Copies of this chain bind each other. A is one copy, B any other.
């Protein structure tokens, strides 16, 4: 049975289930940042998905890019990464980056502690994301 690794629950907010992936908003107000978790039991690497699932993952990665642009102002570059060194359950990060953001031009992963959303900013982000999740 597919279960989301609890590590994601502590660091992000649920957005909902897409065709393949469970989508979450990373709880770091410094970057617009979506995490996609394919709902495939035991998957750790991209090679654990079928070609059909990989095609859907690509569609959902592009959608996550649009979500990131909807949440964040001034996204200059998308960063897409499937790492999993800390949490091996397969997941894809889609992060909106801009020159001068805290980790720029390095990667965000492992850079510095998250700055969680305040209640108002979180509500605004969720409002902006809703049309893309419909």
Contact = CB atoms under 8 A, between A and B. Distances in A.
Contacts of A62: 46-47
A54 interface: yes
Contacts of A81: 79-83, 107
Interface residues of A, number: 31
A86 interface: yes
Interface of A: 44-47, 51, 54-55, 57-59, 61-62, 65, 77-86, 88, 97, 104-107, 109-110
Contacts of A79: 81-85
Given A77-B84, A79-B84, A80-B81, 4 more contacts: A47-B62, A47-B78, A79-B82, A107-B110
Contacts of A77: 44-45, 83-85, 88
A59 to B, nearest CB: 8
